């Protein structure tokens, strides 16, 4: 069981900055995120785009902001559970919250800060009949353990970075064969990856099936058979071991919707006149995930909410201690 002062759900910019504000009050944090990397929307949707409204930065690239936040919180040594979704929450006999992830990892703390943004980033699944039956063995939306694909015949669908990157990776690493199916001839991925994939296609390392899309799936012993339709109305089958439909991730509110929190239009209602507390004592919601009258889904607003929220969390954890606000210029940063 991982024990800490504040469990932060969501390692987006707001979750990350919460570690800093909490650290100034000597509160320790542990972050949980469904994504394998920190940064939330900044990392997943627009890592290479400039942001112009972070105070003090006339312009900063989203991925650079995440790097700087990671650097800023380093002295406070936060814990991370990445690639796992916070699934259930319950109250232990001592009043602490216990949160279990999709993979069963347990976390315990007196305070929970939900910085879940627009929700859990979940794979976009193609609307194909019976697909779910194959999700256990043959169909994968995220590559967690590349080793299981050794010596396997793999089909990848999609035209974005993850589809191209994994096609290249498997072509270079031990797969028996790699086929890439894409609806058009244009790719959304970085030019370098596209050029490399086209070279590999020329060398026979990747078979490119363009202007085509998978429309059905069935079983053939341990393998699967994908029914493919092409734009010029040809139909054919491909037999393979694994299919990776990689059409990107889209945020969905997810498990937090069932935790007894007051939800309004896919966001958690909070008390913005005091401390961004939710209707459950000890659970706060900050950043894009919360709502109140006049809410703005902006990074700087989330940062402000984090600073206010940790003051209240401190009083909850140490009811008999008085905290006096000190400037960082006066105290410096004392890590732990």
Partner 1 sequence: MDVKIHVTDREGNKQTISGPTDMSLNLMELLKVHEYEVEGTCGGMALCASCHIYINSKNNLPKISDSEQAMLDDNWDSKANSRLSCQIPINESIDLLTIEIAPEI
Partner whose footprint covers residue 111, from partner 1, ligand FAD, none (CB < 5 to 8 Å by kind)? none
Q: Which helix (H) or strand (E) holds 101?
A: strand 97-101
162 near ligand FAD, rule: CB under 6 A = no
163 near ligand FAD, rule: CB under 6 A = no
User: How far, in Å, CA of 308 to CA of 316, rounded?
Assistant: 13
Partner whose footprint covers residue 14, from partner 1, ligand FAD, none (CB < 5 to 8 Å by kind)? ligand FAD
Partner whose footprint covers residue 183, from partner 1, ligand FAD, none (CB < 5 to 8 Å by kind)? partner 1
The stretch among 2-10, 70-78, 154-162, 314-322 that binds partner 1 (CB under 8 A) is 154-162
Of 46, 129, 264, 323, which one interacts with partner 1 (CB under 8 A)?
A: 46
251 near partner 1, rule: CB under 8 A = yes
Partner whose footprint covers residue 310, from partner 1, ligand FAD, none (CB < 5 to 8 Å by kind)? none
**Which residues are CB-neighbours of 306 under 8 A, at least 6 positions away?**
14, 17, 18, 21, 113, 115, 286, 287
Residue 80 vs residues 19, 111, 144, 287: alpha-carbon distances, Å: 11, 16, 17, 19
Least distance to ligand FAD, CB of residue 23, Å: 17
Q: Report helix angle 191-203 to 161-172, nearest 10.
A: 40
Least distance to ligand FAD, CB of residue 16, Å: 7
Q: Are strands 267-269 and 290-291 parallel, antiparallel or unpaired?
A: parallel
Of 25, 112, 240, 299, which one interacts with ligand FAD (CB under 6 A)?
A: 299
Of 26, 49, 144, 219, which one interacts with partner 1 (CB under 8 A)?
A: 49
CB-nearest residue to ligand FAD:
117
Q: Which of 307, 286, 280 is nearest to 99 (CA)?
A: 280
Backbone angles phi, psi at 62, to 5 degrees: -55, -45
Output DSSP code: residue 173: T
Q: Which of 125, 122, 124 is nearest to 254 (CA)?
A: 122
Q: Which helix (H) or strand (E) holds 20?
A: helix 13-24
120 near ligand FAD, rule: CB under 6 A = yes
126 near partner 1, rule: CB under 8 A = yes
Binding site for partner 1 (CB under 8 A): 45-46, 49, 118, 124, 126-127, 158-160, 182-184, 186-188, 213, 247-248, 250-251
């Amino acid at each position: 069981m991982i024990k800490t002062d504040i469990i932060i759900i969501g390692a987006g910019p707001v979750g990350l900055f919460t570690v800093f504000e909490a650290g100034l009050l000597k509160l320790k944090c542990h972050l949980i995120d469904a994504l394998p990397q920190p940064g939330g929307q900044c990392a997943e949707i627009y890592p290479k785009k400039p942001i112009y409204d972070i105070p003090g930065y006339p312009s900063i690239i989203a991925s650079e902001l995440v790097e700087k936040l990671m650097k800023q919180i380093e002295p406070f040594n936060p814990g991370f559970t990445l690639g796992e979704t916070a699934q259930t929450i319950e109250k232990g006999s001592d009043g602490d919250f216990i949160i279990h992830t999709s993979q069963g990892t347990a976390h315990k703390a007196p305070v929970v800060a939900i910085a879940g943004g627009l929700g859990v980033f979940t794979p976009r699944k193609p609307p194909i009949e019976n697909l779910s039956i194959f999700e256990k063995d043959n169909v994968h939306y995220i590559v967690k353990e590349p080793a299981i694909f050794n010596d396997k015949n793999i089909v990848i669908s999609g035209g974005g970075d993850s589809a191209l990157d994994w096609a290249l990776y498997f072509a270079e690493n031990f797969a028996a064969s790699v086929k890439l199916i894409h609806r058009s001839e244009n790719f959304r991925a970085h030019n370098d990856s596209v050029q490399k994939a086209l070279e590999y296609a020329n060398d026979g390392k990747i078979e490119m099936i363009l202007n085509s899309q998978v429309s059905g799936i069935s079983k053939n012993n341990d393998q699967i058979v994908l029914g493919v339709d092409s734009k010029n109305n040809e139909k054919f089958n491909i037999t393979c071991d694994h299919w990776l439909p990689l059409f990107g991730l889209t945020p969905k509110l997810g498990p937090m919707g069932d935790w007894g929190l007051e939800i309004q239009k896919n966001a958690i209602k909070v008390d913005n006149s005091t401390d961004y507390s939710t209707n459950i004592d000890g659970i706060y919601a900050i950043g894009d995930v919360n709502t109140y009258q006049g809410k703005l889904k902006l990074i700087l607003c989330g940062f402000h909410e984090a600073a206010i929220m940790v003051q209240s969390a401190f009083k909850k954890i140490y009811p008999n201690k008085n905290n006096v606000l000190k400037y960082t210029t006066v105290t410096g940063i004392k890590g732990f």
